[in-house]
Structure 1
Amino acid sequence: MTSRADDRKDVEREVEIMRILQHPRLLQLYDAYDDGKKQMCLVLELIEGGELFERVIDDDFVLTEKACSIFMRQICEGVEYMHSQNILHLDMKPENVLCVTKTGNRIKLIDFGFARKYEPNKKMQVLFGTPEFVAPEVVNFERISYGTDMWSVGVICYVLLSGLSPFMGDSDLETMANVTKADYDFEDESFEQISDEAKDFISKLLLKERKDRMTASDCLKHQWLRKDKKKDETHLDKTRLKRFVIRRRWHKAVNAFLALKRMGAVISL
């Protein structure tokens, strides 16, 4: 529904951006219809594999550092293409990484509702996103750039390998305060079996200064993501990752409930 002018403008911007983003690592828009009144219909590619994190915590999935590097490489390929088209995603988080099928290892990035065209010569600031995954410059309402997405890629990688959220606090305000300090470590036992190359990869993304972070192209050249690099096949403990996913499920359910209430829905408990 696009009854409000702002809603229609948001959908039109998303359609315009998705028409540009023709890449195998990105959700594809096939067509869009507008009745000229209150409804716009988007015809999107069908992705049947579900969220990546939901897939990897399944008891039948063997999570290894090698598997994580394969997923992260594909994420970086998608981000690299977006940035080559001067588009920022600005909402990189686990829920926006889907598996193409229920059995394969191919992924796609989705949800371009927050995406924006980026002009390097113009100052752009935003104040939206998910607190656990937004970069310090978003929290501080400072200038954003390609590096803003790369911070989020680093957080996703940290969580995927350990099941821990590096900046998570007891509230959104505390989480955002932690983000602005960019203070994290690899001291938890979850990282004892993680390679130095993987830690180095994360360390070169979770840097407070956006200009110092690796670009998506840099990431694809990093030793940890090299296809010819032999990686540890040790099974990673998924206990913490399962807890993370359960917490995110609950968070989404609460947000959906609140959204329905705001729209005037009558909900019986």
Structure 2
Amino acid sequence: MYSFRSKKNQVQLSFPYRDVQIKRGADPKEQYELQEELGRGKFGIVYRCIEKTNGLSLAAKFITCPKKEDRRNVEREVEIMRALQHPRLIQLYDAYENGKTMCVILELIEGGELFERVIDDDFILTEKSCTVFMRQICEGVDFMHKQRILHLDMKPENILCLTQTGNRIKIIDFGLARKFDPDKKLQVLFGTPEFVAPEVVNYDAIGYGTDMWSVGVICYVLLSGLSPFMGATDPQTMANVTIAKYDFDDESFNEISELAKDFIRKLLLKDIAERMTAEECLNHEWLKRKKANLHRTPSMDVTKDNLKLFVERWNEHPNSPYVFDKSSQSIIPDQNDSSTSP
């Protein structure tokens, strides 16, 4: 393991920095031995693989690119990941273009999705453990934003645990990520309904706060097991998002601290300019490392039961990225989605 030193602590990268350039016309199978399939999406398949020269276990994502636009999307993802060398973010190892197929070699993350981990019978979910996860998420997002990159698809399935027993997480899937110039107006018409910010639905200018809204939704779900804006249909969900109305009335919030609720309130604000930045989140009292009042927080049994239902629903009906068609006010699946979990 290799160290990445920050101001406050020392954490680790899985391998040293690699200045990845896409290898054109090369076959990744010459350098990597493919093993079992790990995941499959609409346009991609992920395999476990081993680098032949050093035995390192990695994940190989193969993406079919029938159109030039498909190839450009993968090239953009690779370019963005080259700038994201941080222990809280999945790391890029190698990339290939071979005919109509592109292959991205990624760090192998074997702990599964964060929400799958916290609903495990062996995991004791407490507010204190939620702060541990949320702090790491904010560290990853803070680094992204300081590189002027927006993730734009922050949601539970894109947060994985590094191992099946530890509490370290990684943010994955930069397929929808964009470079961001604060001096230029950027608008997008894609996202995941339950986690997308109001400005995306309204086709207004987006920014760093767009990711922070999604972080706030993730935090709300993690603490309660409930989705704050979910309606009976996706359009109803989007309508709820645009008015930014939610509450803490459910019994799952009975034992949750006012600090936690304050943290969420300062993220789920309709005005993008009013939301906390990732750095401000890390300085919020709720995420401070030394909090005696959270050391003995009760286990969150109601939340855990809710989360089990949330994960079950999510698995039955995967909430893939959507494109919002403003002309017909409809929501359609994103046909360029190549996301698969490594």
**Which residue of 277, 293, 298 maps to 1:234?**
298
User: Bigger radius of gyration, 1 or 2?
Assistant: 2
Structure with greater proportional strand content: 2
Match of 2:34 in 1: none
Query: Partners of 1:147 and 1:229 in 2: how far apart?
Result: 26
Query: Partners of 1:202 and 1:95 in 2: how far apart?
Result: 20
Matching of residue 70 in structure 1 with residue 136 in structure 2: no
Query: Partners of 2:273 and 2:80 in 1: how far apart?
Result: 25
**Which residue of 177, 193, 201 maps to 2:263?**
201
Number of matched residues?
256
Match of 2:60 in 1: none
Query: Partners of 1:248 and 1:6 in 2: how far apart?
Result: 29
Letter in 1 for 2:162: V
Query: Partners of 1:250 and 1:168 in 2: how far apart?
Result: 16
Match of 1:251 in 2: 317
Match of 2:204 in 1: 142
**Which residue of 10, 13, 19 maps to 2:82?**
19
Query: Partners of 1:18 and 1:196 in 2: how far apart?
Result: 37
Letter in 2 for 1:111: D
Q: Which runs of 5+ in 1 are unaligned?
A: 260-269
**Which residue of 65, 70, 86 maps to 1:7?**
70
Letter in 2 for 1:60: D
Matching of residue 124 in structure 1 with residue 124 in structure 2: no
Superposition map of 1:17-96 within 5 A? 17-35=80-98, 37-96=99-158
Name the % identity. Answer: 69
Query: Partners of 1:253 and 1:126 in 2: how far apart?
Result: 18
* Alignment check: 8 A CA contact 2:198 2:270 kept: yes
Q: CA deviation at 1:6?
A: 1.0
| Structure 1 runs of 4+ with >4 Å offset | none
Give the TM-score normalised by the residue count of structure 1.
0.93
Q: Which runs of 5+ in 2 are unaligned?
A: 1-63, 322-332, 334-342
Matched residue of 1:120: which SS? coil
Query: Partners of 1:253 and 1:60 in 2: how far apart?
Result: 27
Match of 1:262 in 2: none
| Aligned Cα root-mean-square deviation (Å) | 1.5
Give the TM-score normalised by the residue count of structure 2.
0.73
Structure with greater proportional helix content: 1
Query: Partners of 2:180 and 2:80 in 1: how far apart?
Result: 11
Query: Partners of 1:252 and 1:86 in 2: how far apart?
Result: 29
Could you report, residue by residue, the CA deviation over 1:200-233 in whole angstroms, capped at 9, with x for unpaired residues? 0000000000000000000000000000112143
